[in-house]
Amino acid sequence: MPHVVCLRPVHPEALAQLRAVPGVTVEVLDPVNAETVARSMPNADAVIVRATPINREFLAHAPKLRIVARHGVGYDAVDVPALTERGIPLTVTPDANAACVAEHAMMLLLNVARQTFFYDRQTRALQWSNPPVPATFDLGGRTILVMGFGRIGGRVARLCKAFDMKVLVRDPYIPQNTIKGAGFIPVKDLQAGLAEADVVTVHLPSSAETRGIINGEFLASMKQGAVLINTARGTLVDEKALAAALTSGHLSGAGVDVLWDEPAVESNPLLQLPNIVITPHTAAATEQGLRRMALSCADSILACFDNRLDEDVVINKEVLRGNA
């Protein structure tokens, strides 16, 4: 009898979908700690994970595990090689959160561009547009560099074009003609792209190749007064370097949904700066986005149980070949 363990609650429709299948049992683990993991995971055939690290220590409690379904697209907290060694597929929800994360990136950009946080604070204090008023700007006519042209980056590029922005795209893994065919300008020379862009928005996975990629050199190459938007992963950004660029005025502003250490820690230098908007990793957490991600996880788990798992949602595809 397959048993599914959800590490923290997920959308009730997904739980109902799993429980509607004869023979499948579901357990929601909340809170998730060493004691509850040690008690519940020995019986688990599948797990839905949101933020819990999936490492070798965790896996040692799960001898029956057949699939790890990630509630989202980032998997930097998952030890993929450890799963692969055991032939356990890791699935993500690639189509479920693209729309809401792209909208969140635009929300952060609009907040910085129009200084919404400043005006809200001033109005609540009954200071009706009194000087000094910070510089605001139109998106139309500005140039944005989209770093990463996957599902989310592609959506952001289209939204920016709808705002009449000039859209540059940097993604060495996507053919230049694909980017051109989509109506955008491919960037081969990163330094040239950074020097031209009024805004840089980041949509990259966190990996050994990308971790800390937005460092002092990267930021210094950005245009004077430019804006940085990050809704991808906090570990892409050297936060001390970003704080220095915002403090000096080299960057006029930033909007981020992710931090290197989450939850936020008091020592983070970004928290005290007035020219950055920070949200607590909530870009994908709309009502619709949470539902889509949970249902996608449920679909993957049931497909795994039926030996019909779609390789398009699997990160370590080699395990499918090994199980064929």
* Per annotation, catalytic residue among 142, 233, 239, 292: 233
How many whole angstroms separate alpha carbon 54 and alpha carbon 68? 9
Longest dimension (CA), the chain: 68
* Annotated catalytic residue 262: yes
* Per annotation, catalytic residue among 13, 57, 217, 262: 262
Helices (H), 115-249: 116-124, 151-162, 176-181, 190-196, 216-221, 239-248
In one-letter notation, the amino acid at residue 245 is: A
How many whole angstroms separate alpha carbon 78 and alpha carbon 173? 23
Question: What sign for the dihedral angle of Cα 226, 232, 238, 243?
Answer: positive
Helix (H) or strand (E) holding 29, with range, is: strand 25-29
Cα three-residue angle 205-236-92, rounded to 5 degrees? 25
The length of the chain is 324
Reading the block at residue 157, the tokens are 């590029």
* Annotated catalytic residue 61: no
* Per annotation, catalytic residue among 155, 203, 281, 292: 281
The residue whose two tokens read 């969140």 is: 104
* Annotated catalytic residue 103: no
Residues 6+ apart with CB under 8 A from 31: none
How many whole angstroms separate alpha carbon 140 and alpha carbon 10? 39
How many whole angstroms separate alpha carbon 118 and alpha carbon 130? 11
Residues tagged active-site: 233, 262, 281
